[in-house]
């Protein structure tokens, strides 16, 4: 029999974690952080010295006590990609289980860097898997990684092959034929699996299921950046860009246009240094020949003092702090570093505001301060990494799953997914299952 436990990320955004029990073996997919709860709880500091119990209580990590009775059956912990809401809780939660971690080279490099930042020892062995390959858990359970596109390198869908059928875990993804880094989605394999008629269930993200579009390609974000960086008069002006530190495809485009402008490209901030190092370690990118990376606050401050009116036009800075986080470099430039911007220096937000009251307030405060200095602000130079309704429809058509379980989203998002599934003929409670955190579903 197959039983699925929705541990975290169901009817909320964050701390994704799902457990799939196949007879006597349990596979856990994702152990994520709740990023908003994390920020409120820690005020953006590290979590050093805080116990998993405290973090669970504060809703920062998933409440895995709901699968306590399965604890000794856990055979594998795996993850689809290296975003914090999928892997950030691994150093806190995984050591409770005597099971190996299965992840791609990039995700493994990021998990090791997080554990080292938090001064935690990761006792679980790490098994490395390449996209488009498989790992045998037992003689009749196999985990397959299917190459996918999103907003971070080496994203996969996970197919768990069992004697009862195939379970597909699709958190997170978009269907992008021009991803800038990495391959296109492996449509062929998805279609093959669909054609077996044996996909028992699809567990799928819901974040943008309510948007009746196909999410534009990362190639579109690259053209938006080209427009702003190469098509705006910027001579003599400082250019400051900010984006998601883990979005190496986006950063690659920024670096390439920065080179076209003959600017010295400087990365400022710890998380940019962390993801760049992980990407270089596994050979996805090679920025360090072209870019100077300054990691720590005191060195950042020292470097910024060197930039002034006479040399500002030589630089393109990539900085942390796209959501206006008070402890990140961009907020500090207008705060404690008291950086001397000149009027009409350029600030590019290559991101959206992730909707939450904290982010909206932080960004509002930051933009007010930037505007007061007479800067030119370019916002929303961005496309999402998440599937919208028409991508979701394609995925259902490719896989033809017997059951659908919407995950990773607040209620209005999972409901939007449900309305698409109903349109496709799925029946609530029979083949369409709405789970909440801590609930269980038996499939066969
Ligand atoms: Zn993600």
Q: Is the pLDDT of residue 271 over 80?
A: yes
CA of 248 to the centre of ligand 1 (A): 13
CATH class of the structural domain 2-214+385-442: alpha beta
Per-residue pLDDT averaged across 45-65, rounded?
Answer: 87
CA of 101 to the centre of ligand 1 (A): 18
CA of 87 to the centre of ligand 1 (A): 10
DSSP state letter for 69? G
Separation between Cα atoms, residue 151 and residue 144, nearest integer Å: 21
CA of 116 to the centre of ligand 1 (A): 22
Q: Which residues lie near ion ligand 1 (Cβ < 5 Å)?
A: 83, 172
Alpha helices, DSSP H, located in 71-171: 84-87, 90-93, 105-117
The maximal CA–CA distance of the chain, rounded, in angstroms, is 71
Q: Measure CA 182 to chain center.
A: 15
pLDDT at 43: 66
Q: Is the pLDDT of residue 46 over 90?
A: no
Answer whether 331's CB lies under 8 Å from 254's CB: no
Q: In what order do the strands lie in the sheet with 2-8?
A: 126-128, 101-103, 74-78, 25-29, 17-22, 2-8, 439-442
Per-residue pLDDT averaged across 408-434, rounded?
Answer: 97
pLDDT at 38: 85
Q: Is the pLDDT of residue 57 over 80?
A: yes
Separation between Cα atoms, residue 228 and residue 245, nearest integer Å: 20
pLDDT at 288: 87
Answer whether 350's CB lies under 8 Å from 322's CB: yes
Give the confidence band of 130 by pLDDT, cuts at 50, 70, 90.
very high
Ordered by start, the domain boundaries in the chain are 2-214+385-442, 218-378
Q: Strand, helix or coil at 362?
A: helix
Give the confidence band of 95 by pLDDT, cuts at 50, 70, 90.
very high
CA of 136 to the centre of ligand 1 (A): 25
Q: Strand, helix or coil at 370?
A: helix
Q: Is the pLDDT of residue 136 over 90?
A: yes
Q: SS3 helix, strand, coil % of the chain, rounded to 5?
A: 35, 25, 40
CA distances (Å), 303 to each of 49, 318, 376, in order? 32, 13, 22
CA atoms within 13 A on the CB side of 212: 2
Give the confidence band of 44 by pLDDT, cuts at 50, 70, 90.
low
Reported as a single tens digit per residue, the pLDDT across 281-294 is 999 999 988 999 99
Please give the mean pLDDT across all residues of the chain: 96
Separation between Cα atoms, residue 61 and residue 41, nearest integer Å: 11
CA atoms within 13 A on the CB side of 437: 20
CA of 82 to the centre of ligand 1 (A): 7
Q: Is the pLDDT of residue 356 over 70?
A: yes
CA atoms within 13 A on the CB side of 352: 10
Separation between Cα atoms, residue 156 and residue 169, nearest integer Å: 9
Per-residue pLDDT averaged across 260-268, rounded?
Answer: 97
CATH class of the structural domain 218-378: alpha beta
DSSP string over 31-67: ----HHHHHHHHTT---TT--HHHHHHTTSS--GGGG
Separation between Cα atoms, residue 29 and residue 78, nearest integer Å: 5
Per-residue pLDDT averaged across 253-261, rounded?
Answer: 98
Give the confidence band of 45 by pLDDT, cuts at 50, 70, 90.
low
Answer whether 17's CB lies under 8 Å from 9's CB: yes
Reported as a single tens digit per residue, the pLDDT across 107-128 is 999 999 999 988 888 999 999 9
CA dihedral sign of residues 148, 323, 15, 270: positive
pLDDT at 93: 96
3-state secondary structure 386-433: CCEHHHHHHHHHHHCCCEEEEECECHHHHHHHHHHHHHCCCCECCCEC
CA of 150 to the centre of ligand 1 (A): 7
Give the confidence band of 42 by pLDDT, cuts at 50, 70, 90.
confident
Q: φ and ψ at 327, to 5 degrees?
A: -90, -5
List, in order, residues 6 or more apart from 260 with CB less than 8 Å away.
229, 230
Separation between Cα atoms, residue 334 and residue 372, nearest integer Å: 10
Answer whether 73's CB lies under 8 Å from 19's CB: no
For Cα atoms 164, 73, 405, give the angle at the middle one, nearest 5 degrees. Answer: 45
CA of 342 to the centre of ligand 1 (A): 36
**Which of 240, 302, 227 shows the shortest CA–CA distance to 272?**
240
Reported as a single tens digit per residue, the pLDDT across 146-194 is 999 999 999 999 999 999 999 999 999 999 999 999 999 999 999 999 9
Q: Is the pLDDT of residue 358 over 70?
A: yes
Q: Is the pLDDT of residue 418 over 80?
A: yes
Give the confidence band of 308 by pLDDT, cuts at 50, 70, 90.
confident
Reported as a single tens digit per residue, the pLDDT across 195-241 is 999 999 999 999 999 999 999 999 999 999 999 999 999 999 999 99
pLDDT at 163: 97
CA of 240 to the centre of ligand 1 (A): 25
CA of 357 to the centre of ligand 1 (A): 20
């Amino acid at each position: 029999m197959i039983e699925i436990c929705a541990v975290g990320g169901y009817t909320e955004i964050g701390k994704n974690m799902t457990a799939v029990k196949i007879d006597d073996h349990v596979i856990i997919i994702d152990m994520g952080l709740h990023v908003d709860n994390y920020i409120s709880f820690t005020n953006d500091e590290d979590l050093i010295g805080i116990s998993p119990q405290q973090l669970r209580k504060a809703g920062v990590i998933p409440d895995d006590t709901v699968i306590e009775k399965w604890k000794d059956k856990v055979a594998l912990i795996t993850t689809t990609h290296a975003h914090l809401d999928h892997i950030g809780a691994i150093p806190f939660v995984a050591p409770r289980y005597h099971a190996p971690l299965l992840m791609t080279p990039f995700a493994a490099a990021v998990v090791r860097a997080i554990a080292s930042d938090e001064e935690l020892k990761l006792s679980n062995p790490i098994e490395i898997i390449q996209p488009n390959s498989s790992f045998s858990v037992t003689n009749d359970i196999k985990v397959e990684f299917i190459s996918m596109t999103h907003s971070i390198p080496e994203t996969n869908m996970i197919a768990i092959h069992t004697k009862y059928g195939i379970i597909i875990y699709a958190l997170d993804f978009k269907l992008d034929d021009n991803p800038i880094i990495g391959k296109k989605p492996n449509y062929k394999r998805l279609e093959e699996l669909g054609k077996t008629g044996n996909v028992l269930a699809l567990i799928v993200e819901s974040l943008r299921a309510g948007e009746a579009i196909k999410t534009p390609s990362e190639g579109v974000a690259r053209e938006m950046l080209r427009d702003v960086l190469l098509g705006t008069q910027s001579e003599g002006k400082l250019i400051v860009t900010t984006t998601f530190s883990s979005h190496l495809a986006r950063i690659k485009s920024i670096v390439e246009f920065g080179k076209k402008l003959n600017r010295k490209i400087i990365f400022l901030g710890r998380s940019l240094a962390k993801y760049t190092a992980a990407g270089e370690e596994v050979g996805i990118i090679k920025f360090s020949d072209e870019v100077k990376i300054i990691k720590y606050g005191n060195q950042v401050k020292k470097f910024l003092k060197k930039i002034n009116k006479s040399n500002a036009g030589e630089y393109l800075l990539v900085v942390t702090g796209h959501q206006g986080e008070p402890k990140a470099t961009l907020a500090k430039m207008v705060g404690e570093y008291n950086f001397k911007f000149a009027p009409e220096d350029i600030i590019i937000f290559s991101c959206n505001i992730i909707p939450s009251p904290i982010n909206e307030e932080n960004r509002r405060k930051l933009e007010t301060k930037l505007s007061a200095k007479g800067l030119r602000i370019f916002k929303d130079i961005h496309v999402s990494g998440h599937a919208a309704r028409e991508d979701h429809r394609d995925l259902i058509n490719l896989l033809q799953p017997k059951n659908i379980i919407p995950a990773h989203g607040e209620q209005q998002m999972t409901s939007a997914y449900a309305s698409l599934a109903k349109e496709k003929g799925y029946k609530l409670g029979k083949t369409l299952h709405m789970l909440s955190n801590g609930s269980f579903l038996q499939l066969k």
